[in-house]
A and B are shown apart, each in its own frame.
Chain A
Amino acid sequence: EIVMTQSPATLSVSPGERATLSCRASQTISSNSAWYQQKPGQAPRLLIYGASTRATGIPARFSGSGSGTEFTLTISSLQSEDFAVYYCQQYHNWPFTFGPGTKVDIK
């Protein structure tokens, strides 16, 4: 099973600042990674797939990069609605696996 790790566990950011979230896979997954955003009481929302492709309707301030084992989600200028938990996921091999999440909260 491919293990996904995320850092940091919590990221405190001021509105308008840039946030950079990291994700690492325990073995190479090419570009078969995705990022999700989840707010309390809601289902997750797909932000990025294929490591860098924004999902339909996702604002341009969200961007993804990386390949192989290292991946990054960048939020260029945090808005109030962006404070949430973010998960990375690999879909390179079964079973698909998620990282433990990064909570982005208000500084």
Chain B
Amino acid sequence: EVQLVESGGGLVQPGGSLRLSCAASGFTFSNYRMHWVRQAPGKGLVWVSHINSDGSSTTYADSVKGRFTISRDNAKNTVYLQMSSLRAEETAVYFCLTDLVGGRNYWGQGTLVTVSS
């Protein structure tokens, strides 16, 4: 069974940093691209970042470029999102998800990041 479990969310002050983790199991993690998507309370989905299967290529939404860094450790089946200079408007549930795996993709349950003083 494929599982994605995010962790690392919490309360952080504006301008602060946080690192999210997403632990994967049930599939060959090192074969697939991974993504982060966020959703502010009561709002829509916003794609944040992606990393390719071996970690050599990454992309970011313009709004987070230069402040967020995605990385992965294929030995630990984990993808990370390092977030810095956080803003109040980035309060959201952050989801990690896979690319297509066998005709579907998989999402974690999400981790809530609250940026507030």
Q: A55 touching B61 by the CB < 8 A rule?
A: no
Q: How far is the CB of A43 from chain B (nearest CB, A)?
A: 4
Q: How far is the CB of B46 from chain A (nearest CB, A)?
A: 7
Q: B108 touching A98 by the CB < 8 A rule?
A: no
Q: A57 touching B104 by the CB < 8 A rule?
A: yes
CB<8 Å pairs between A and B, sample of 23: A1-B62, A36-B45, A38-B45, A43-B97, A44-B37, A46-B104, A55-B103, A55-B104, A55-B105, A56-B102, A56-B104, A57-B104, A95-B47, A95-B59, A95-B60, A95-B62, A96-B47, A96-B50, A98-B45, A98-B46, A100-B44, A101-B44, A101-B45
> With the chains together, A55 CA to B97 CA distance in Å?
15
A30 in the interface (beta carbon within 8 A): no
Which residues from chain B sit less than 8 Å from chain A, CB to CB? 35, 37, 44-47, 50, 59-62, 95, 97, 100, 102-105, 107-110
> With the chains together, A101 CA to B95 CA distance in Å?
17
For A36, the chain B residues whose CB sits under 8 A away are: 45
Leading 7 A-B pairs by shortest Cβ distance = A43-B107, A56-B103, A56-B104, A96-B47, A94-B59, A55-B104, A98-B45
For A43, the chain B residues whose CB sits under 8 A away are: 95, 97, 107-110
